[in-house]
């Protein structure tokens, strides 16, 4: 194992709740509708544009390309505003120590997030210097569940996909890691049964456990 690729929302910090809260506000303001809790899983780990498509499909609505772009931009503005209070205390349990252990072991770390706000969030969390590469989701052809973002992160680290492990908390993300030919570490419930190895929460993660998962599944 030479590299570890991290998703951001729900793996490093629980910013996914901020995303869905921003979507809910957008839908209330523009369409006077409510989004059910179960829709959050379908917007988790995917791009802003793909999330908006999921929401519009649920609402059985179609909008022009101009309206679509405006809605996506408005949602992002609302989301970025909520990040003003983000700080290192918002890092999920065990992740700071895990990152430190990886760095001490000489592993390369990459961010493979669908969030275009990844660099801002890492900076606010005090983790920007820990990552050797951040894949730009705006520069990949397809978002998760396609493998593109993970392949881009591995390439940015000058590593082969088979030498990397990916950490994800979403169904789409785990699917993307698997499609990239990497060992997938799922963080969450039974919906992530397709991961190479699954852990219930970030506090269950450790360098030895992830190394063992890579050895067992490579």
Q: List residues with catalytic annotation.
A: 7, 9
Is residue 196 part of an annotated ligand binding site?
no
> Is 9 labelled as part of a ligand binding site?
yes
Q: Is 23 annotated as a binding residue?
A: yes
CA distance 167 to 198: 10
Question: 51: annotated binding-site residue?
Answer: yes
Q: Among residues 182, 208, 203, 166, which one has the least CA distance to residue 91? A: 203
- Known binder of ligand: residue 71? no
Is 117 known as a binding-site position? yes
Cα–Cα distance list, 85 to 181, 202, 204, 208 (Å) = 37, 22, 27, 33
> Is 116 labelled as part of a ligand binding site?
yes
Known binder of ligand: residue 50?
no
Q: Which letter does DSSP use for residue 92 in this model?
A: P
14-17: long-range contacts at Cβ-Cβ below 8 A with a sequence spacing of 24 or more?
14/90, 14/92, 15/83, 15/86, 15/90, 15/115, 15/121, 16/40, 16/44, 16/169
178 is in an annotated binding site: no
Under 8 Å between Cβ of 97 and 12: no
Query: What span, in angstroms and rounded, lies between the C-alpha atoms of 30 and 99?
Result: 41
Is 204 part of any known ligand binding site? no
What residues are designated binding site? Answer: 7-9, 23, 51, 75, 113-117, 144, 168-169
What residues are designated binding site for Mg(2+)? Answer: 7, 9, 168-169
């Amino acid at each position: 194992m030479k590299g570890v690729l991290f998703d951001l929302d729900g793996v490093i910090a629980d910013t996914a709740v901020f995303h869905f809260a921003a979507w809910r506000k957008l839908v209330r303001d523009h369409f006077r509708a409510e989004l059910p809790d179960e829709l959050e899983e379908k917007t988790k780990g995917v791009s802003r544009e793909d999330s908006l498509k999921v929401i519009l499909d649920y609402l059985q609505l179609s909008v022009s390309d101009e309206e679509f772009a405006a809605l996506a931009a408005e949602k992002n503005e609302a989301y970025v505003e909520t990040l003003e209070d983000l700080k290192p205390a918002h890092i999920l349990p065990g992740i700071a120590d895990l990152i430190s252990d990886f760095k001490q072991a000489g592993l390369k770390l990459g961010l493979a997030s669908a969030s275009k706000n990844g660099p801002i969030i890492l900076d606010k969390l005090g983790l920007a210097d820990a990552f050797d590469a951040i894949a730009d989701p705006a520069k990949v052809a397809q978002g998760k569940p396609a493998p593109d973002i993970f392949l881009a992160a591995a390439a940015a680290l000058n590593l082969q996909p088979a030498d990397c492990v990916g950490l994800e908390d979403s169904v789409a993300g785990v699917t993307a890691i698997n499609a990239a030919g990497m060992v997938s570490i799922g963080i969450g419930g039974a919906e992530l049964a397709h991961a190479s190895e699954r852990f219930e929460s970030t506090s269950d993660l450790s360098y030895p456990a992830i190394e063992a998962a890579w050895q067992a599944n490579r």
